[in-house]
A and B are shown apart, each in its own frame.
Chain A
Amino acid sequence: MSLASYDKRARNKAERIRRLRRLAKGKFVASKNVSEVLKRIIEPGDILCLEGDNQKQADFLANELAGLSRADLHDIHLVMSCITLPAHLELFKKGIVSQVDFCYAGPQGQAVAQLLEAGKFPLGAIHTYNELYARYYVDLTPRVALIAATQADRQGNLYLAANTEETPAIVEPTAFSNGIVFAQVNEIVDSLPRIDIPADQVDLVVEAPYPMHLTALFTRDPAAITDVQILMAMMALRGIYQKYEVQSLNHGVGFNTAAIELLLPTYGEELGLKGKICKYWMVNPLPTMIPAIESGWVEAVFSVGGEVGMERYTAARSDIFFTGRDGSFHSNRAMGQLAGHYGVDMFIGATLQIDVNGNSSTVSKKRITGFGGAPNMGCQPTGRRHPTKAWLQAGAESNPGPGSIPGRKLVVQLAETFQSGRVPTFVEELDAQDPSIKKALKGVAPVMIYGDDVTHVVTEEGIANLAACRSIEERRAAIRGVAGYTPVGLKRSKRETQALRARGIIQLPEDIGVSPAQVSRSLLAAQDIKGLVRWSGGLYDPPAQFVDW
């Protein structure tokens, strides 16, 4: 009779580390030995986590991994936020991966769709960020995690600088389940500015031959903001921000919301809204936030990630941004998503496609992009209990029954009725409903934000208050009413639209005191990137691709 053992993972981890022999000096691995180290610490059947989101990538480790062959490595269950690098695709082409669970494949959406069609993309499921992190603690706990940090010290403590992002959400479940945490770092130093990940959660460290990949994802040049976006921003400010007195919010990352940020110190000030709205933010350090911050609008900003070029500015504004003891910027993707879910009164963002029921998606027939984080913010947090004025007012409008939550988060979709090239934004049915896509995703259409969660749709034609609609037919009529001259809009009945307007469910710019004749780019607090640099007092260092002077 043998006793069952319950420490197999710990013993197996020790065995893997033993296999390294002289390839590691303590925790430290030379970059030339990395591929051999990966072969020895990863076993078939492992859940392997490769750090990589839409901004920060453990790209050196990813490249070394992609250099291995199927003989070296196979039957890997890959878990990762974002499939974005050529190296990630290589793992599928080589047939190393037996299952993949991920969140987002934005720039590689087309390649992923092709791999899927070729049967080379063994998809588990597509998640939102916090949904995937949650599963790291449940049924997708990584056996090995390959992560990226800015610096390590000689003990293996890690400094993550501005881009903490998802590193803690990966390290904790791995380190506390006898998994192996392997970090690539830009450099090894004697002493760190601050410790973000303690050494005893780190097993292996390599100084990478090149710095980790970082993308400036949230930089929007004010010069590219259009008149129509300014009109929509003015409508949103009056029809939603002012009406509900929105104090805490999350902004998407498009030009529409950048226009709103740049109108606060001008149009917002003129409306007397300073101090009444937009005080607490869950957003990345968006350069277009600089004028509002410098004008005293903003109390606090918490971020899921950093933004290239905003390091000196955020460090110099530590009352606003979360900063470490060393004075530099701190972000955290999992906590930021949590803040955006429970802590804020409004999510507002743009979308590429929205159907007549209010469902939206960024998936097209040839691209599988996935979700990322927007659904964690653009949804009703049914676990919320704390009241605010905006939450209660939106809740009262949606006429809760005796068994429903009294408040409602404002979930606002900004959508110009047409995308460029005369492609209608409003459609009867989303491309995401395409049978081939649904089949690949096990029957679930990849909807980014569900119509039931949306409270308002803002287009250049007007605002539709979906929360105030009393039936699905009414909601469809409200959406058609602001869908302009798209096929969806052309199907509206004039009588129905006018009745909804009379009830305030559809509002035209004039109904909320916005005059289109007032629209002008001169209302933007900054006209271009250079203007943002000036507002920052020279503290913002825009990436080279945005500098034209």
Chain B
Amino acid sequence: MEKFDKSLSSRPFAWPKRTPWSLAGVVGSGNLEVLLEPNPKSPGKLECRVESSIPGYKDSWIAALDDFASNYPAGGIKATIHDQGADPIVVTFRLRQAYGELLKKSS
């Protein structure tokens, strides 16, 4: 088990008046879930919390989250990831899915 928090600079997300949340994926073997929630305290930061059942991949997690924070305006979002040994190829995909869902709910 590996748990860590990481705060990454990101352009602010354009929140609507009511603040939605989104969830992608499931916590199951070989999969993971991504929960995105508003975090009004730090509008210029993507705050991440990762809990992974497989230790030793912290650098890869941070690289993936850092790319995400620079590719998308994700400031003011709190991302919680529960990983159950997901294939690495699923990580960015689930982040993007949750983000797309958040965009849809915000438009």
Size of B's binding interface in residues, CB under 8 A:
22
- Return the CB mask of B42-83 against A: 1 if under 8 Å, else 0: 000000000000000001100110010011000000000000
Q: Does A4 belong to the interface (CB within 8 Å)?
A: no
Whether A484 lies near B97 (C-beta < 8 A) is no
| Bound-state Cα–Cα, A243 to B107, Å | 28
Secondary structure call for the B interface: helix
Query: Across the interface, do B97 and A418 meet the contact criterion of CB distance under 8 Å?
Result: no
Contact check: which of A416, A490, A519 meets B60 at CB < 8 Å?
Answer: A490
Q: Is the CB of B71 within 8 A of A416?
A: no
The chain B residue sitting closest to A490, CB to CB, is: B63
Contact yes or no, A227 B93, CB < 8 A: yes
Q: How far is the CB of B6 from chain A (nearest CB, A)?
A: 15
| 7 smallest beta-carbon distances between A and B, as pairs | A517-B100, A516-B96, A485-B60, A516-B97, A418-B88, A416-B89, A515-B100
Chain A hits for B59, CB < 8 A: 490
Within 8 Å by CB of B93, from A231, A422, A485, A494, lies: A231
Closest to B85 in A: A422
Measured between beta carbons, the chain B residues less than 8 angstroms from A498 are 70
Residues of A within 8 Å of B88, CB to CB, are: 417-418, 422, 484-486
Contact call A484/B89, Cβ cutoff below 8 A: yes
18 A–B pairs (Cβ distance < 8 Å), ordered by A: A227-B90, A227-B93, A416-B89, A417-B88, A418-B87, A418-B88, A418-B89, A460-B92, A484-B88, A485-B64, A485-B91, A490-B63, A498-B70, A509-B96, A516-B97, A517-B99, A517-B103, A519-B97
A498 to B70, CA, bound (A): 10
Min distance, Cβ B85 to any Cβ of chain A, angstroms: 9
CB distance from A531 to the nearest CB of B (A): 24
Q: Which of B5-59 contact A (CB under 8 A)?
A: 24, 59
Is A484 in contact with B92, judged by CB distance below 8 angstroms? yes
Q: Which of A470-493 contact B (CB under 8 A)?
A: 484-486, 490
* Distance from A20 Cβ to chain B, minimum over Cβ atoms (Å): 60
Q: Which listed residue (A417, A509, A516) contacts B89, Cβ 8 A?
A: A417
Question: 0/1 per residue, A389-424, Cβ < 8 Å to B?
Answer: 000000000000000000000000000111010100
Contacts of B103 in A (CB 8 A): 517
Q: A516 to B90, alpha carbons, bound, how many Å?
A: 11
Contact indicator per residue, chain A 219-233, by CB within 8 Å of chain B (1) or not (0): 000000001100100
Q: What separation, in Å, do the CA atoms of A485 and B68 have in the docked complex? A: 12
* Known A-B contacts A485-B63, A508-B71; A518 and B89 likewise in contact (beta carbons under 8 Å): no
Query: A53 within 8 Å of B by Cβ?
Result: no
Beyond the given pairs A228-B89, A516-B97, 8 more chain A to chain B contacts, judged by CB atoms under 8 angstroms and listed by A's residue number, are A484-B92, A485-B60, A485-B88, A515-B100, A516-B96, A516-B99, A517-B97, A517-B101
Could you tell me the distance in whole angstroms from the C-beta of B28 to the nearest C-beta in chain A? 13
A461 at the interface (CB under 8 A from B): yes
Complex interface residues of chain A between 350 and 402 (CB less than 8 A to chain B) = none
List chain A positions with a Cβ less than 8 A from chain B: 227-228, 231, 416-418, 420, 422, 460-461, 484-486, 490, 494, 498, 508-509, 515-519
- Whether the Cβ atoms of A228 and B63 lie closer than 8 Å is no
- Which of B71, B91, B93 has the most C-beta atoms of chain A within 10 angstroms of its own C-beta? B93
- In the bound complex, residues from chain B placing their C-beta under 8 Å from that of A515 are 100
Q: Counting chain B CB atoms within 10 Å of each CB, which of A227, A460, A485 scores highest?
A: A485
Select from chain B the residue with minimum beta-carbon distance to A425. Answer: B89
Question: How far, in Å, is B56 (CB) from chain A's closest CB?
Answer: 11
CA distance A219 to B90 in the complex (A): 25
CB neighbours (8 Å) of B96 from chain A are: 509, 516-517
In the complex, which residues of chain B have a beta carbon less than 8 angstroms from the beta carbon of A416?
Answer: 89
Residue of B nearest to A481 (CB): B67
Known A422-B88, A485-B88, A494-B70; contact A516-B63, beta-carbon cutoff 8 A = no
Partner of A228, one of B64, B70, B93: B93
A485 to chain B, nearest CB (A): 4
A348 to chain B, nearest CB (A): 19
Question: A461 to B63, alpha carbons, bound, how many Å?
Answer: 13
B68 to chain A, nearest CB (A): 11
> In the assembled complex, which residues on chain B have CB atoms less than 8 Å from the CB atom of A518?
100
Contact A517/B104 with A485-B60, A485-B64, A490-B60 known, Cβ cut-off 8 Å: yes
Q: Is the CB of B93 within 8 A of A460?
A: yes
Q: Which residue of B lies closest to A227 (CB)?
A: B93
Residues of B within 8 A of A517 (CB): 24, 96-97, 99-101, 103-104
Which residues of the other chain, A, contact B70 by a CB distance below 8 angstroms?
Answer: 494, 498
| Chain B residues, CB < 8 A from A227 | 90, 93
Report Cα–Cα, A518/B103, bound state, in Å: 12
A460 to B97, CA, bound (A): 12
Min Cβ gap A517→B in Å is: 3
Q: Could you tell me the distance in whole angstroms from the C-beta of B45 to the nearest C-beta in chain A?
A: 18
**B71 — which chain A residues lie within 8 A by C-beta?**
508
A515 to B98, CA, bound (A): 11
Whether B97 lies near A461 (C-beta < 8 A) is: no
Who on chain B is nearest to A489 by CB? B63
Bound form: Cα–Cα A424–B62 in Å: 18
Minimum distance in angstroms from A282 CB to a CB of chain B: 29
**Taking CB as reference atom, which chain A residue is nearest B22?**
A517
User: Considering only CB atoms, which chain A residue lies closest to B88 in the complex?
Assistant: A418
Q: Are A516 and B87 in contact (CB under 8 A)?
A: no
Task: Name the A residues within 8 Å of B104 (CB-CB).
Answer: 517
Q: For the complex formed, measure the closest distance between the CB of A158 and the CB atoms of chain B, giving whole angstroms.
A: 48
Give bound CA distance, A517 to B103, whole Å. 10
Report chain B residues within 8 Å CB of A461.
92
